[in-house]
């Protein structure tokens, strides 16, 4: 693919950033709770649930639309350690305002999930109440101009943690090049939007000695959650399947193995 999805996203995000799309107003000052510590405190098989408005490449069907308060009501009493908010506008219909509302109304740590290519997005994450940002190891191939390590350093200077996302084994060297607090492995190739579990499995295998490893994408039920647990993930992030579930509490409880305690 000569021009994949990531390169397209980078091209579409640059004018949005330059036009002030991430120049969001500050929230009331509050400490950033640690996402890493929240996942650790939840014990094995911690869950992060994502608020998203659209999911290109997932199933071809639109996601049910929930307001932030409705989203949080659906999670009440569920075993959820942290939250994620997809803030990218192109293709995902997201906005930093979603994250601001989320963090104002829930004390759990929240991940600023976006295609972060510019320090202004990191600043926006901090102003919007995020606890962590997502950095994609695949983005340098898409032509970003700011080094990932520089974006991570900016996040840490603002009191944010960094979740570094990998997909393929050839991205593993980024673990030593980017000061990250958590490592994520996505089963989806973000350049093609295709699920590739074999490649992700090899990447997870190479991270078996590490802690704070998060499984990303492709969790549709207990079997796909178990796929991550068997490969050593400490946590998983789930979004579309929760949005589509008629009983989100039961669904989320089903993602954790027998004997794993529930956390509200």
pLDDT in tens, 202-233: 999 999 888 899 999 889 999 999 999 999 99
The answer as to whether 1 is a domain residue is no
153: containing domain: 44-254
Please give the pLDDT value at position 162. 98
The structure's pTM equals: 0.93
Contact 163, 134 (CB under 8 A): yes
The answer as to whether 16 is a domain residue is no
pLDDT at 60 over 70: no
The answer as to whether 212 is a domain residue is yes
pLDDT at 2 over 50: no
| CA–CA dist 217, 38 (Å, integer) | 20
Per-residue model confidence as pLDDT tens digits over 234-249: 999 999 899 999 999 9
The answer as to whether 23 is a domain residue is no
CATH number at residue 155: 3.20.20.70
Please give the pLDDT value at position 172. 96
The answer as to whether 14 is a domain residue is no
The burial of 7, by beta-carbon neighbours within 10 Å (0-12 exposed, 13-18 middle, 19 or more buried), is given as middle
pLDDT at 61 over 80: no
Please give the pLDDT value at position 27. 64
Contact 55, 240 (CB under 8 A): yes
The answer as to whether 86 is a domain residue is yes
- The count of structural domains within the chain is 1
Please give the pLDDT value at position 59. 53
Tell me, rounded to whole angstroms, the distance of Cα 228 from its chain centroid. 15
The answer as to whether 237 is a domain residue is yes
In angstroms, the first-to-last Cα distance of the chain is 43
* DSSP state, residue 25: P
């Amino acid at each position: 693919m000569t021009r994949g999805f990531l390169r397209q996203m980078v091209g579409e995000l640059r004018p949005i950033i330059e036009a002030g799309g991430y120049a969001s107003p500050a929230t009331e000052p509050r400490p950033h709770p640690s996402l890493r510590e929240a996942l650790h405190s939840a014990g094995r098989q911690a869950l992060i649930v994502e608020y998203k408005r659209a999911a290109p490449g997932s199933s071809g069907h639109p996601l049910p639309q929930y307001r932030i308060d409705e989203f949080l009501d659906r999670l009440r009493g569920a075993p959820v350690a942290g939250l994620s908010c997809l803030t990218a506008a192109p293709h995902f219909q997201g906005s930093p305002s979603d994250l601001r509302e989320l963090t104002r109304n829930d004390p759990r740590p929240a991940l600023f999930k976006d295609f972060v290519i510019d320090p202004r997005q990191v600043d926006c994450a901090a102003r919007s109440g995020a606890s962590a940002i997502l950095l994609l190891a695949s983005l340098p191939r898409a032509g970003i101009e700011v080094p990932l390590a520089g974006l991570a350093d900016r996040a840490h200077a603002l009191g944010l943690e960094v979740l570094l996302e990998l997909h393929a084994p050839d991205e593993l060297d980024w673990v030593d090049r980017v000061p990250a607090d958590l490592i994520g492995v996505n089963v989806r190739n973000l350049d093609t939007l295709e699920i590739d579990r074999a490649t992700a499995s090899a990447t997870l295998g190479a991270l078996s000695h590490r802690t704070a490893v998060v499984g990303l994408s492709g969790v549709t039920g207990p079997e796909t959650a178990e796929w991550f647990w068997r490969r050593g993930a400490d946590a998983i992030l789930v979004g579309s399947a929760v949005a589509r579930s008629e009983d989100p509490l039961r669904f989320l409880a089903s993602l954790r193995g027998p004997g794993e305690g529930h956390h509200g």
